[in-house]
Structure 1
Amino acid sequence: MTDWQDALFTPRRVAVVGASASQGKAGALFLRNLTAVEAGFAGEVVAIHPSASEILGCPAYPSLGAVPEPVDLAIVITPPTAVPDVIADCGAAGVPVVIVISGGFAETGPRGVELQRKVASIAAAHGVRILGPNCFGVINTASGLNGSLSIGLPGRGGISLLTQSGAYGMAAYSRSVDDGIGFAKIAALGNKIDLNEVELLEFMGRDPETKVVAMLLESISDGRRLFEAAAAVVMRKPVVVLKTGCHPDAQRAAASHTAALSGDEAIIFAALRQAGVHLVEDGLALLDVAASLDRQPPLRGRNIGIVTNSGGAGVELTDLLESKGLAVPALSPGLQATIASQLPPQGSAVNPIDVTTDWQRFAAMYEFTVEALMTSSEVDAVVPILLQRSALMPEVCDAVIAASERARQRGSIKPIHVCWVAQRSADANRNKLQAAGVPCHAWPGATAAALAATVSRPIRPLARLSAGEPIPQPAAVDDAGWLNSAAALSLLQQAGFPVARWIVVTDPAAAAAAAAKLQFPVVLKAERPKLTHKSDAGAVRLGLTDGAAVAEAFEDFSRRLGAGPALLQRQAGPGAELILGARRDPLFGPIVMAGLGGVWTEILDDVALRLAPIEAEEARTMLDELKGRKLFAGYRGRPPIDLFRFSRLIADLSQWFCAATWLGELDLNPIIADSDEFTIVDVRMRVADSVALA
């Protein structure tokens, strides 16, 4: 067996290196977990110990080379300084994959970093794949493999968990016991010395036992590859991600708006959303949403139907769902009449549907209403609220299960989630619902959050990069890597982007003469090395209406900023101010940004991000994310903006930026938008090498 995936998850023979018979030692825990009768692992387990011949019923050998049959998986629990020799022993014995549980590596400081590098080098030289170090281990419920620190094997199900936190490997077992959540596989990444989240995600995407992939990531090894892998996997099964440790890089020295507004956290979340994954904010939600998607289809629309025996709870859930971007629409008169026929006179069939306190008829009313909603085209999901008395009645839970199963038999693919509000004495009913594949969420807040997190998103892969001539890097670059405005505008103009008319002037008289040719009013902008924010330095003069004013402005720049040229532009007419930008992220590669421009860029921080290049269709979805999107519809007598043309401009810019491989940062701010016309007024470009060195 040489395939690391098979060796890791379905090994025929597992060796525990650092095995022990002493109670409380990790070496003993792993032997007990691997040989537990209730787990049912059919493979052989051997112990590696310098002197013992048998430990806890397992044959023991002094080295991996001494084991008479091939070892598929070695689990290492030795002191960290012994790990390099153990890995060399694994290589000599032909062990294809090793889990290093031991800590004491890069997480401990410089010496640990060096030790980790040594282990990685030895493993690579021998062709040994490593999971870890400093990790929780691996579980495969299908084969009964518990090669982990877990105190037991979780129940079998469709969730596979990839985690950098061992605590969540433990949590998987407790959630399985308490909430009936079923797992297929669990793998803890640890320090990711070798095997990383991308390789494990790709494997779980192919794994037939995995129905949902849940990932807890503290760090990302290769953002672009993660995006590509996730986008491929979500075509077949849901992927739920919790990303922790998201802090913008305060050391970034880039001065462009794009760099300032596309911090680490923003890019990570934008990329994962673009890949179609389900994002969550905490570990509890990670497993709740994964379990929901394992039990029910994803939510493919926004409209939710609610059935409740408490009007107040129905109103609360409605508010919470709408705050998450979902809707609780009034039902059509026909559907209302059908449902009302089964309700008491004081009931409501509008939505939320209130069956009131007629508890003797709860089972019949819930069953009829749930099935009516599940088979109606007016809602995309159904949420019965089971509160106190309705939750305590087993016949009500049976009715909900029966109605949902009949709807499935009739072809319904919409999800059903229960909002559960009851005491612990009703847990048997809750367990029955969950065993039947109906997720139950405690109280309206958790229900709304879980349902919103299961919304599916259309998958739009990255666009193909258009073939064309390479875009050469201009020579007009200052010490900080910035192109001067004339060079930047020329590049855009040559590429066919809508740049405002402009000319470089070098003295007051030339400026005044050129302004007359451009037609007034005009704008004058000082051009000086390292002058990154012209407005802040008083280096921009707007609304100049004659030659004298232009000459005076040029002279003022010279007095205050020193001698140098200026850029003269015809002033754009009134319109909405927009911003487009792009930059190369070290993890995710080229990204593109769009939002409200001018002074609003920094005040509102209202931008949308995508990995580039993208098509116009994906660019259009960016605009829908902006808080200020209502401005696009026109305001104060201004015509609406042509969003199709703006989306095309975003997509074209993303293609052009990707092709300009030398370019690190790009700002087009502002772009003046007037109906179907877009005029690029100002541009900033910085070469990639300068960004990296800053």
Structure 2
Amino acid sequence: MSDWRTALFNPRRVAVVGASATPGKAGALFLSNLASAESGFAGDVIGIHPSATELLGRPTFPRLDAAPSPVDLAIIVTPAATLPSVIEDCGRASIPVAVVISGGFAETGAEGALLQQKAIEAARTHSVRLVGPNCFGVINAHCGLNASLSIGLPRKGGISLVTQSGAYGMAAYSRSIDEGMGFSKIVALGNKADVDEADIIAYLGSDPETRVIALLLESFRDGRRLFETIAAITSSKPVVALKTGRNPSAQRAAASHTAALSSDSVVAEAALRQAGAHVVDDGFSLLEVAASLARQPPLRGRRIGIITNSGGVGVELTDLLESQGLAVPELSPELQQKIAQTLPPHGSPANPVDVTTDWARFPQMYGAAVEALMRSDEVDAVVPVLLQRSALMPEVGDAVAVALRKSRDAGSQKPLHICWVAPRVADANRARLLEAGIPCHLWPAGTASALAATSARAADARPNTVAASSAAPALCDADGWAPTPQAFSLLAQAGFPIEPLVCVSSAEEAAAAAEHMGFPVVLKAERPGLVHKSDQGAVRLGLADRDSVARAFTDFSHRLGPGPALLQRQAKPGLELVIGGRRDPSFGPIVLAGLGGVWIEAFNDIGVRLAPIDIDEAVRMVEKLKGRRLFEGFRGAPPIDILMFARLLADVSQWFAAASWLDELDINPLIASGDGFEIVDVRMRIRNAEGDPHA
């Protein structure tokens, strides 16, 4: 078997290197898991042990190349120091892939990292792919393969889980047992010394047994490649992703607004969303949303129809859905009349549909209402609330399931999710609904968040290759920052709308230049290491005569030390925006935009995309800003031309992506008014020949 992915998930013969019969040892656990009758793995399982000929009923050989038939997959549980030689044995036996369970490698420090590197070199020399080391293992529930630390196989289904954390392999098993979630493949990548998430995702994207891919990601080796891989899949198969390590305390200190606001976690989440993934905030939601998408179609719209036997819970669910950006619209008179035919006189056919407490008629009312809403064009999803009495009656759940089947037969592809509010004695009824392929979320809050997270996602515009940009500036300071006049000159050469500036070296020169320029003017101190000028009193606005300009220059010299200043004409009043760019070490060039000026970090209202982007993507980026209303002309201010701003944003992203010499770009503020846009300040950080910042 030459294809390592097929050998990993569908091997014909598996060898446990380090096999043992001693209870408690990893070699015994893996032999038992692979050979378990309950798992039903049809392939051969052999052990590798220096002296034994049989362990736990399985034939055992001293070396991999001593086995009489070819081995497709090696599971390695030997001590860390043996790994390079074991990989060489895999190569001699022509084994395409090995899963290294053993720890003691890069996760332990420099010595372990060196050992891991030797193992990788051996693998490359002998054309062996490695999963791990220090990992949980691999599972294929459909063929009964349990080459993992799990105590059993999860139920068969359509979810494939890719994780760095072995604990989530265990969690998948327990959620499968407790919640009826069905899994196809599970693989934990551990240290990712060789095989990474993009390698596995690419395989799962074309795997017919995988309906949904769930990702738990801690780090990225090649974020751009991961983005491309996910974006190629999400148009045909849902991908649900959780990125851990998002705590602000772990984010690096930054010398520009762009760097501060585009931390590693922000870029990673933005890239995942741009690729079309359903991004969630925690591990419970990761599996909950994945299971929902495996059971029901994605939500393709905002309008939700609710059926409830409690008006109060219906109202609560409405509030929670609307807080997630969804809507609970009032139904048309015609649809209300149709639904009312099965309700008691005091019931409500409006949305939420309230069937009241007429318990005996619950099955009829729930079934008829579900079918009517599923077949209507007035809602995009249906959420029956099964609360206490309705949840305790199995015939109610059966009626909902029958109505769903009839609606599917009639061509409806809307999702149906249950809001479940019931005591544990009703768990058997919930299990029946889950078995019927209907998600049952606990309480209104869980229902609203899970349903919103299943909204249909498609990859946004993917970055294109762009031509090379202008050459790097010749001068920059010790930290790589280009002088502001050079930065303005580069933007001007590229055709961007700058507010011209003049560099002045004395109070007298500043006063004369201001008079020639025309008042009012702005004066800004220019000093090495002076980053946030407003915070340090290095910007003076609205200077209206020669004397005020001269006094401002003299004040800068007294407080900040001698040095030049930059003089600009005072920009017209307008909305302060920011456009920035940064080269992420994993995802490559990114662009951000949002509210700028002194409020940029206070409001943190930005959008982030991998660059370059086109105008359509730039428009989508702007329309998702929380401060979007400010573009429409807030409290008498003139409206901002969003299309013009999007064109500028797209052009900057193209220019930045092409300027491979540029590490950071911070255009802030960009003044937007009814007349257009003016760049009044910019910072550029240059990369050196090795690709690192600081020239």
TM-score range, shorter chain: over 0.9
Q: What residue in structure 1 maps to residue 307 of structure 2? A: 307
Distance in 1, matches of 2:321 and 2:682, equals: 42
Instruction: Tell whether the 8 Å contact from 2:47 to 2:58 is kept in structure 1 after alignment.
Output: yes
Residues 68-93 of structure 1 show CA distances to partners (whole Å, capped at 9, x for unaligned) of 11111110111222222211111111
Q: Output the CA distance in 1 between the equivalents of 2:301 and 2:419.
A: 19
Q: What is the CA-CA distance between 1:583 and the residue it aligns to?
A: 0.7
Q: Which residue is equivalent to 1:621?
A: 620
The letter for the 2-side match of 1:595 is G
Give the letter for the 1:426 counterpart: A
Q: Cα offset for 1:144?
A: 1.5
Which residue of 2 is the match for residue 117 of structure 1?
Answer: 117
- Separation of aligned partners in 1, 2:202 and 2:260: 33
Q: Helix, strand or coil for the counterpart of 1:270?
A: helix
**Whole-Å Cα distance in 2 between the matches of residues 537 and 244 of structure 1?**
36
Distance 1:487 1:182, change over 3 A: same
- SS of equivalent to 1:139: strand
- TM-score, with structure 2 as normaliser: 0.97
Matched, 1:375 2:375: yes
Residue 365 (1) aligns with residue 365 (2): yes
1:110-162 per-residue CA deviation (whole Å, 9 max, x = no partner) reads: 22222211211211111111111111111112221111111111111111111
Shift of 1:529: 2.4
In the other structure, the counterpart of 2:473 is 474
Following superposition, the deviation at residue 414 of structure 1 comes to: 1.1
Counterpart Cα distance in 1 of 2:617 and 2:469: 25
Cα deviation 1:513-544 (Å, max 9, x = unaligned): 33233221111222222222222333222112
What is the distance in 1 between the residues matched to 2:528 and 2:490? 19
1:215 aligned residue: 215
Pair 1:50-2:50 in alignment: yes
* 1:350-405 C-alpha deviation (Å, 9 max, x unpaired): 21111000111111111111111111221111100111111122221111111111
**Structure 1 residue 604: Cα displacement:** 1.6
SS at match of 1:305: strand
- Report 1:177-576 matches (<5 A): 177-248=177-248, 252=252, 254-467=254-467, 470-576=469-575
Give structure 1 regions of 4+ aligned residues with deviation exceeding 6 angstroms: none
Output the CA distance in 2 between the equivalents of 1:151 and 1:536. 58
Work out the percentage of aligned pairs sharing the same amino acid: 64
Shift of 1:251: 7.3
CA–CA distance in structure 1, aligned partners of residues 664 and 250 of structure 2 = 17
Question: Which deviates more from structure 2 when the two are superposed, residues 375-384 or residues 622-631?
Answer: 622-631
In structure 1, C-alpha distance between the alignment counterparts of 2:597 and 2:246, rounded to whole Å: 28
**Aligned residue type for 1:123:** A
Q: Which residue of 1 aligns with 2:175?
A: 175
Is this contact kept in 2: 1:247–1:264, CA < 8 A?
no
1:15 counterpart SS class: strand
- Determine the C-alpha separation between the residues in 2 that align with 1:212 and 1:520: 62
Q: Is the 8 A contact 1:309 1:390 kept in 2?
A: yes
Counterpart Cα distance in 2 of 1:394 and 1:562: 81
Which residue pairs with 1:667 in the alignment?
A: 666
Residues in 1 aligned to 2:643 and 2:332: alpha-carbon distance in whole angstroms: 34
Q: Is the 8 A contact 2:275 2:458 kept in 1?
A: no
Cα distance change of structure 1 residues 146 and 565 upon mapping to structure 2, 3 Å threshold: same
8 Å contact kept, 2:133–2:192: yes
What do residues 590-619 of structure 1 show as CA deviations (whole Å, max 9, x unaligned)? Answer: 111111111111222222211111112222
Note if contact 2:253-2:260 (Cα within 8 Å) is conserved in structure 1: no
1:39, distance to aligned residue in structure 2 (A): 1.9
Inter-partner Cα distance in structure 2 for 1:49 and 1:217 = 35
Deviation (angstroms), 1:281: 1.7
Kept in 2, the 8 Å contact 1:584–1:688? The answer is: no
Equivalent residue, structure 1, for 2:104:
104
Compare 550-559 and 221-230 and name the one that shifted more.
550-559
AA matched with 1:535: S
Q: How far, CA to CA, are the matches of 1:524 and 1:381 in structure 2? A: 58
Q: Matched residues in 2 for 1:518 and 1:691: separation?
A: 39
Distance 1:240 1:128 in 2: 30
Query: For the residues of structure 1 that align with 2:448 and 2:117, how far apart are their CA atoms?
Result: 46
In the other structure, the counterpart of 2:16 is: 16
- Letter of the aligned partner of 1:502 in structure 2? L
**Residue 65 of structure 1: aligned partner:** 65
Tell whether the 8 Å contact from 1:321 to 1:452 is kept in structure 2 after alignment: yes
TM-score w.r.t. length of structure 1: 0.97
Query: 1:331, CA displacement in angstroms?
Result: 1.6
Alpha-carbon shift at residue 500 of structure 1 (Å): 1.1
Distance apart, 1:210 and its partner CA: 0.6
2:94 corresponds in structure 1 to 94
CA contact (8 A) 1:197 1:221 kept: no
Q: Quick check: 603-612 or 543-552, which moved more?
A: 543-552
State the partner residue of 2:80.
Answer: 80
Structure 2 counterpart SS, 1:658: helix
1:416 CA displacement: 0.3
- For the residue of structure 1 that corresponds to 2:636, the secondary structure is coil
Counterpart code for 2:474: A
CA distance in 1, matches of 2:30, 2:559: 74
Q: What are the within-5 Å matches in structure 2 for residues 545-694 of structure 1? A: 545-689=544-688, 692=693
1:685 Cα offset (Å): 0.8
Aligned partner letter, 1:179: E
CA contact (8 A) 1:249 1:263 kept: no
Match in the other structure for 2:27: 27
Q: Distance in 2 between matches of 1:589 and 1:556?
A: 42
Q: Structure 2 counterpart of 1:41, which letter?
A: F
Given that 2:579 and 2:649 are in contact with CA atoms closer than 8 Å, whether structure 1 keeps it comes out as yes
Aligned-pair RMSD on alpha carbons?
A: 1.7
Q: Is the 8 A contact 1:501 1:518 kept in 2?
A: no
- Any stretches of 5+ residues in structure 2 without a counterpart? none
Distance in 2 separating the partners of 1:411 and 1:676: 51
Query: What's the counterpart of residue 138 of structure 1?
Result: 138
- How much does 1:255 deviate? 0.7
Equivalent-residue separation in structure 2 for 1:131 and 1:676 (angstroms) = 58
Q: Once the 2 structures are TM-superposed, how far is the Cα of residue 253 of structure 1 from its aligned partner?
A: 5.0
Q: Decide which moves more: 419-428 or 662-671.
A: 419-428
* Pair 561,167 (structure 1): closer, same or farther in 2 beyond 3 Å: closer
Question: Deviation of residue 693 (structure 1)?
Answer: 5.6
Q: Write the distance in 2 (CA, Å) between the matches of 1:356 and 1:535.
A: 61
Q: CA deviation at 1:623?
A: 2.0
Instruction: Please state whether the residue corresponding to 1:493 is helix, strand or coil.
Output: helix
- Report Cα offsets for 1:417-455 as digits up to 9, x if no partner: 011122233222222211221111111121111111111
C-alpha separation in 2, matches of 1:397 and 1:680: 61
Deviations 1:164-212 (A, max 9, x none): 1112111222222222111111111111111011100111111111110
CA contact (8 A) 2:251 2:263 kept: no
Q: Distance in 2 between matches of 1:649 and 1:204?
A: 38
